[in-house]
């Protein structure tokens, strides 16, 4: 049974990491040190001291260059409240999932590496209050911050539950490690980390944001919801990649209809002024269950034309990193429905299984279905990627 939801703050409930980094860049500029977003990224989610000290070390900033953690912390505290209040900081689904949990008899807690003052500012900025949580833990309450398990163990102790009864929502590798170390189920959001990296870090499930967590009305239903999005135990080969597929929440027939709608809608936006042959495509991510669509885009130089299928898969990769394709849908006005071209099949083979379902359909309603291996029985896979 699920008895508690434990939420990280930045990147999970609140979209404040960009604000934090902007202030960090400002501070280093005051001491004559140039910093960028990428300098701070490895230190997100590990607490304020790590945020500044580790970044300073990577930049070669020390007391000789004018760097001081105390000064950086003071600068941050002065600038942060004003900026976070101006920003629309609440991430999709944040308040909704917190309130749904509480209505369902599930306890809620915040487990943030940030100092307590910042956690309070964030809670107000996203339209919630301290009363919406049974416990609030901050970096001030522990000696060892994430990736150590301390902060989540503290939450478990205060709530009087075991780790197996709690779901942690995180968005970083260090946070995932912290939650797993405490014995909790961990759901990773893709606000900061991609699906493949989250899987490698040990996340049990990956969702785009909190709004993607399935609805529930009791602790038992919450457990079923978690199970429905959780990864299978072992990785599965999808073309040249190993993916930990999530459990399909919807029936094949329902999923196929969603795929067809996405492909048909994309086809409407196709740019085909030369051939007038419009195509839309959609691919289904094995890890997250998300559908990504694309359309063909022609060019005066025909070689620069991009097919709908390649457009869809590049959108998926841009959103998730390495993906596995569970299903492909292609919409055209051809009769019989047009299959992907040979070049697109080779591209799709990089991310598909032999039994990946390919649904071809026309605007007139005709439909054909194939296994991927029936369309491309012997795809080329680079020697070092063969399994």
% of the chain residues with pLDDT over 70: 97
Q: What is the chain's length?
A: 387
Burial of 82 (0-12, 13-18, 19+ CB in 10 A): exposed
Mean pLDDT, residues 270-295: 95
From the list 109, 104, 154, the residue with the least C-alpha distance to 130 is: 109
pLDDT in tens, 318-369: 988 889 999 999 999 999 999 999 999 999 999 999 999 999 999 999 999 9
Catalytic residue among 153, 298, 309, 320: 309
Determine the angle formed by the axes of helices 48-59 and 69-86, rounding to 10 degrees. Answer: 120
Residue 367 tokens read as: 């439909």
pLDDT at position 387 over 60: no
From the list 375, 376, 212, 173, the residue with the least C-alpha distance to 291 is: 212
The kind and range of the H/E element at 314 are helix 308-320
Burial of 203 (0-12, 13-18, 19+ CB in 10 A): buried
pLDDT-based confidence at residue 234 (cuts at 50, 70, 90): low
From first CA to last CA, the distance across the chain in angstroms is 38
Residue 308 contacts residue 294 (beta carbons within 8 Å): yes
pLDDT at position 235 over 70: yes
From the list 190, 169, 179, 172, the residue with the least C-alpha distance to 108 is: 169
Determine the angle formed by the axes of helices 17-30 and 69-86, rounding to 10 degrees. Answer: 140
pLDDT at position 386 over 80: no
Q: Are strands 185-189 and 166-170 parallel, antiparallel or unpaired?
A: parallel
Residue 87 tokens read as: 């920003």
Nearest-angstrom CA–CA distance, 275 and 269: 15
Provide the strand spans (E) within the chain: 4-7, 107-111, 135-137, 166-170, 185-189, 205-207, 236-238, 241-243, 280-285, 291-295, 325-332, 352-362, 367-371
Does the active-site annotation cover 309?
yes
pLDDT in tens, 177-221: 999 999 999 999 988 888 778 888 889 888 889 998 999 999 999
Q: Percent helix, strand, coil in the chain (nearest 5)?
A: 45, 20, 35
pLDDT at position 170 over 80: yes
pLDDT at position 311 over 90: yes
């Amino acid at each position: 049974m699920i008895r508690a939801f434990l939420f990280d703050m930045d990147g999970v409930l609140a979209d404040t990491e960009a604000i934090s980094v902007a202030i960090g860049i400002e501070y280093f500029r005051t001491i004559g040190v140039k910093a960028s977003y990428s300098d701070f990224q490895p230190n997100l989610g590990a607490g304020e001291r790590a945020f500044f000290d580790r970044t300073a070390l990577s930049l070669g900033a020390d007391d000789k260059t004018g760097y001081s953690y105390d000064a950086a912390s003071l600068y941050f505290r002065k600038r942060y409240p004003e900026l976070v209040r101006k920003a629309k900081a609440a991430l999709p689904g944040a308040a909704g999932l917190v309130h749904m949990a509480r209505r369902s008899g599930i306890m809620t807690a915040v487990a943030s590496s940030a100092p307590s003052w910042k956690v309070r500012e964030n809670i107000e900025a996203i339209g919630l209050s301290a009363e919406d949580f049974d416990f609030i833990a901050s970096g001030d309450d522990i000696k060892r911050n994430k990736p150590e398990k301390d902060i989540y163990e503290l939450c478990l102790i205060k709530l009087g539950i075991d780790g197996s009864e709690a779901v942690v929502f995180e968005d970083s590798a260090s946070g995932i490690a912290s939650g797993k170390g405490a014995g909790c189920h961990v759901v990773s959001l893709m606000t900061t980390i991609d699906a493949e990296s989250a899987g490698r870090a040990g996340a049990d499930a990956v969702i785009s944001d909190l709004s993607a967590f399935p609805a529930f009305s009791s602790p038992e239903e919450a457990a079923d919801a978690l199970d429905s999005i959780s990864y299978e135990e072992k990785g599965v080969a999808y073309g040249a990649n190993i993916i930990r597929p999530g459990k399909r929440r919807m029936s094949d027939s329902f999923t196929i209809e969603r795929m067809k709608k996405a492909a048909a809608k994309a086809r409407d936006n196709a740019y085909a002024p030369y051939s007038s042959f419009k195509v839309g495509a959609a691919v289904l991510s094995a890890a997250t269950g998300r559908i990504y669509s694309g359309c063909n885009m022609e060019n005066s130089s025909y070689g620069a034309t991009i097919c709908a299928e390649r457009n869809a898969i590049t959108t998926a990769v841009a959103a998730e990193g390495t993906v596995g394709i569970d299903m492909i849908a292609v919409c055209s006005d051809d009769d019989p429905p047009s299959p992907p071209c040979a070049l697109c099949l080779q591209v799709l083979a990089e991310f598909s299984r032999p039994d990946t379902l390919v649904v071809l359909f026309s605007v007139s309603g005709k439909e054909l279905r194939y296994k991927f291996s029936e369309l491309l029985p012997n795809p080329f896979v680079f020697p070092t990627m063969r399994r």
